[in-house]
Structure 1
Amino acid sequence: MTLKQLEAFYFAATLGSFVLAAQRVHVTQSSLSKRIAELEEWVGVELFVRTGKRAHLTEAGHRVLKVAGQMLELKEYVRDALDGPVELSGTCSFGISELGALTWLPRFVAKVREKHPQLILRPHVDLGRRLERQVVRGELDFAIVPGPAEDPSISQQRIGDVKFVWTAAPGRLRPGRILKPADLAKHPVITMTEGSGLTQAFDNWAASQGLRMQRIVASNSLMAIIGLTIADVGVSFLPQAFMRPWVDGGALTTFRSNPPLPGLAYCFIHREDDRRSLLPILLQCVLDVAEYATMTEYSRKTTRRLRK
């Protein structure tokens, strides 16, 4: 029996897919199946019932799974005990929401390349709830999304908070006005589509205040919402610090409301049963660079285009 065989078995069992397990341990599916078959030969019993498209654990498989998890955790303890620098390699697929991609993602990639040049990063930009589901299924190693996570199998750590503000094109509302529920009900609201942690937080806030908003446009793109707001299609609630260039340039105005908009916590999430050393290492890299105000060069170019 080898740790590689246990690792192949463990991820095939916990991810529920030989394909995802092979991706996780960076081998071909045939190599993964071979390792599991070798482990089954060593223990003398079948660990999976192979029927149809999916393989399910046998009773013996369930017993071995617990021990395999303990063995792999012990492997990480041994690595930590050596107290030396860990060189990450292979491929890491992770999720990030659009605001993070427009602000600190390039700094994160540069930091990881500097410290772990052999690690290939594959970022996936999408809405928070979709990314959370991909983490649960094992399709992503981790994600940075608006929290809190909904699935109890997810472990999460807060990395930053974002404040939001009402925005509108100049002339729609009197400058300096504090918006009340009756005012908000009169204006069309542009929001993110379902699946966005921001939209969910806003809907919960609106429901708690008994507000019925005229939601006329729902977009899955933050930059599209900014463009629609500049075009005076409606009002929107957007990240306060990120919006500063448009406000300073006169393309948008901002307003407070009573009650105020809720803030949003962004979290680093991963599966609770994933104990790999890769996760705390990359979490620290995220904590070192995560800052949701400074735009990337792409964001600055888009800002200039939207102003025209």
Structure 2
Amino acid sequence: MTFDQIRTFLWVARLGGFRKAAERLHLSQPAVSTRIANLENELRVPLFERGPGELVLTKHGTLLLSYAEQMLFVEEEIKQRVANPSEAEGLFRIGASETIAQAWLPEFLKAFSERYPRVNVDLTVDISLNLRAALLERRLDLALLMGPVSEFSVENVALPPFDLHWYRSATNSQTDLSIIPVISYSSKTRPYRELMSELSRRIGPKVRVFASASLSASLKMIGAGVAVGPYPRALANDFLASGQIVEFDPGFRPQPLAFTASYLSEPRSFLVEASAEIAQDVAQTWDKIHPK
């Protein structure tokens, strides 16, 4: 019995299939199948009930899973307390919302790379709804998203919020929200739903709302006088500095955008935990020196 076999068994059990475990471990599916078959032969018991659909653990497999989790926990403890962080290797999968990508994500990646110079990063920028799904499906190790993620298996590290301010074109002074369209985040996000609810209550059926997953495209449309909208000031700075847009007050401001660095708590990974702490430190430093 080898540690690689135990680790492979753990990921097959957690992900419910050989293909998913192979993707997670960066192995071929036959290699994963061979490791599990060799482990079963050595233990002389079946670990999975094989059939259509997702694999199911046998009673022997369920017992082994508890030991496997303990073994990987000890491995993580050793890496954390004995090993040199700069020697850590592997692939680290990060997902980030566009708000963070346009704010402090570069500083985070720089700090992460300095601490873990031999770890490769796979970066995904997407809306928080998709990042949440990818995290729960274990396709991401860390998600920097609008949170928290309300799942018992997820740890959420609070990040500084982003206040929202209203902007209009510098060349179009129209700010009557019953006349000029309002542009907001993707229709699949919480900020869009909250804004729609508030505008419907205040303006009524005359309000027109455009949805866009691209913050830069949205701010360009505001600058062109197509619409007005509420966005974080830090992201609007370049447009403000160039004189394309100006701030205005329509009489209300949406709730700040709340973000978290979220990750699955099991199996425990000190690399993931450390990355969430790095994200929090970088975000707090960035927040102190940028306008709210």
Q: Distance in 2 between matches of 1:114 and 1:80?
A: 17
Q: 196-205 vs 135-144, which deviates more? A: 196-205
> Is 1:32 matched up with 2:32?
yes
Equivalent residue number for residue 279 of structure 1:
272
8 Å Cα contact 2:69/2:267 also seen in 1: no
> Is 1:196 matched up with 2:175?
no
> Is 1:251 matched up with 2:264?
no
> Is 1:16 matched up with 2:16?
yes
> Is 1:221 matched up with 2:220?
no
8 Å Cα contact 2:169/2:222 also seen in 1: yes
8 Å Cα contact 1:95/1:126 also seen in 2: yes
Q: Distance in 2 between matches of 1:257 and 1:74?
A: 56
8 Å Cα contact 2:261/2:280 also seen in 1: no
- Describe the superposition over 1:148-177 as per-residue Cα deviations: whole angstroms up to 9, x where unpaired: 224443221112211111111136557xxx
Indicate the SS of the match to 2:36.
helix
Equivalent residue number for residue 260 of structure 2:
267
Indicate the SS of the match to 1:254.
strand
8 Å Cα contact 1:164/1:240 also seen in 2: yes
**Structure 1's 200 and 63: CA in aligned 2 closer, same or farther, altered over 3 A?**
farther
Q: Distance in 2 between matches of 1:26 and 1:49?
A: 24
**Structure 1's 143 and 201: CA in aligned 2 closer, same or farther, altered over 3 A?**
farther
Indicate the SS of the match to 1:123.
strand
Indicate the SS of the match to 2:254.
coil
8 Å Cα contact 2:142/2:276 also seen in 1: no
Indicate the SS of the match to 1:160.
strand
Give the drift of 1:273.
Answer: 1.8
What percent identity do the matched residue pairs reach?
Answer: 28
Equivalent residue number for residue 49 of structure 1:
49
TM-score for the superposition, normalised by structure 1: 0.81
Equivalent residue number for residue 103 of structure 1:
103
- Describe the superposition over 1:81-137 as per-residue Cα deviations: whole angstroms up to 9, x where unpaired: 437546221111211111222232333333333332221111011101101100100
Indicate the SS of the match to 1:289.
helix
- Describe the superposition over 1:15-43 as per-residue Cα deviations: whole angstroms up to 9, x where unpaired: 22323322333333222222222222233
Give the drift of 1:223.
Answer: 1.0
Q: Distance in 1 between matches of 2:194 and 2:12?
A: 35
> Mind listing any 5+ residue stretches in structure 2 that lack a counterpart?
none
> Is 1:134 matched up with 2:134?
yes
**Structure 1's 195 and 12: CA in aligned 2 closer, same or farther, altered over 3 A?**
farther
Amino acid at match of 1:136: L
Equivalent residue number for residue 6 of structure 1:
6
Equivalent residue number for residue 233 of structure 2:
240
Equivalent residue number for residue 162 of structure 1:
162
Q: Distance in 1 between matches of 2:62 and 2:203?
A: 50
Equivalent residue number for residue 301 of structure 1:
none
- Describe the superposition over 1:213-233 as per-residue Cα deviations: whole angstroms up to 9, x where unpaired: 724421111111111111222
8 Å Cα contact 2:159/2:258 also seen in 1: yes
Q: 213-222 vs 4-13, which deviates more? A: 213-222
Q: Distance in 1 between matches of 2:138 and 2:28?
A: 17
Q: Distance in 1 between matches of 2:199 and 2:61?
A: 48
Amino acid at match of 1:286: A
TM-score for the superposition, normalised by structure 2: 0.85
Q: Distance in 1 between matches of 2:246 and 2:136?
A: 39
Question: After TM superposition, where is structure 1 displaced by more than 6 Å over at least 4 residues in a row?
Answer: 292-295
**Structure 1's 142 and 17: CA in aligned 2 closer, same or farther, altered over 3 A?**
farther
Amino acid at match of 2:184: T
> Mind listing any 5+ residue stretches in structure 1 that lack a counterpart?
296-308
Give the drift of 1:212.
Answer: 4.3
Give the drift of 1:210.
Answer: 6.3
Q: Distance in 1 between matches of 2:109 and 2:165?
A: 29
